[in-house]
């Protein structure tokens, strides 16, 4: 067994109620207004559900969402305040959570690709839940255009800036397939990384 060490506390929780990219490739537009902030959400093997404005909604990566963007290993995502600082250093001021990660963890650590790929554990109301392994979220051209404020830029025009978001800077994603019962995740939960 390996050791878990504290990484930080969840300070934001959110779901994507609709796909965030619209239009046809290669000119898709990124729409952060479809991100719904909440205090907590429920995670099961098929994905995330949450109560938003009194209505139960599915995250767009849930298998049963009408416009599902479900892909294996992508049901739950993690972002970090330290990585948002890195992104802001490159692109200028941005809103924390605009990348639509489900959980934003407050931490001073920059999570390397090696550390991030090892996965995470969360101490929540339902116990300590492990999510291993993990993989980096891949940045897309529409999100890069959004950060740059250049919605008409070509894929080639944003390639260099897009590269700065790779290797986990954009966050990490995990599978929820191993969950055998619903769990509640949200603000105040403590997140752990694997000791190096």
What would the pLDDT profile of 83-112 be if each residue is shown by its tens digit? Answer: 999 999 999 999 999 999 999 999 999 999
Q: How far apart are CA 131 and CA 62, in angstroms?
A: 17
User: What pLDDT is stored for residue 70 in this prediction?
Assistant: 84
> pLDDT at residue 147 above 80?
yes
Q: What is the mean pLDDT of residues 165-181?
A: 97
3-state secondary structure at position 160: helix
Write out pLDDT tens, residues 77-88: 999 999 999 999
For residue 136, is it left (φ>0), alpha (ψ between -120 and 50) or beta?
beta
- Our CA dihedral for 130, 52, 181, 115, rounded to 10 degrees, sits at -10
Q: What is the mean pLDDT of residues 119-140?
A: 96
Q: What is the mean pLDDT of residues 169-176?
A: 97
Confidence of residue 196 (pLDDT cuts 50, 70, 90): confident
pTM value is 0.96
How large a percentage of the chain has pLDDT more than 70?
A: 99
> pLDDT at residue 1 above 70?
no
Average model confidence (pLDDT) across the chain: 96
193 Cβ contact partners less than 8 Å away, ≥ 6 residues apart = 4, 5, 7, 109, 111, 115, 116, 118, 120
**Strands 135-136, 172-174: parallel, antiparallel or unpaired by DSSP?**
antiparallel
How large a percentage of the chain has pLDDT more than 90?
A: 95
Q: How far apart are CA 122 and CA 137, in angstroms?
A: 19
| Domains by residue range for the chain, with CATH | 4-194 (2.40.33.20)
Other Cβ atoms within 10 Å of 192 Cβ, number:
18
């Amino acid at each position: 067994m390996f050791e878990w060490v504290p990484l930080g506390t969840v300070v934001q929780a959110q779901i994507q109620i609709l796909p965030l990219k619209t239009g046809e490739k290669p000119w898709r537009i990124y729409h952060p207004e479809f991100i719904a902030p909440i205090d907590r959400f429920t995670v099961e093997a098929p994905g995330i559900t949450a109560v938003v404005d009194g209505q139960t909604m599915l995250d767009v990566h849930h298998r049963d969402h009408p416009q599902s963007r479900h892909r294996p290993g992508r049901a739950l995502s993690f972002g970090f305040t330290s990585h948002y600082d890195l992104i802001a250093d490159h692109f200028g001021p941005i809103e924390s959570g605009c990348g639509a990660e489900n959980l934003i963890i407050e931490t001073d650590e920059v999570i390397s690709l090696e550390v991030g790929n090892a996965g995470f554990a969360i101490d929540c109301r339902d116990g300590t839940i492990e999510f291993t392994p993990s993989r980096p979220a891949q940045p897309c051209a529409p999100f890069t255009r959004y950060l740059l404020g250049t919605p008409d830029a070509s894929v080639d025009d944003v390639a260099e800036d897009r590269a700065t978001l790779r290797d986990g800077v954009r966050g990490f994603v995990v599978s929820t397939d191993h969950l055998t019962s619903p769990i509640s995740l949200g603000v105040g939960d403590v997140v752990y990384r694997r000791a190096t």
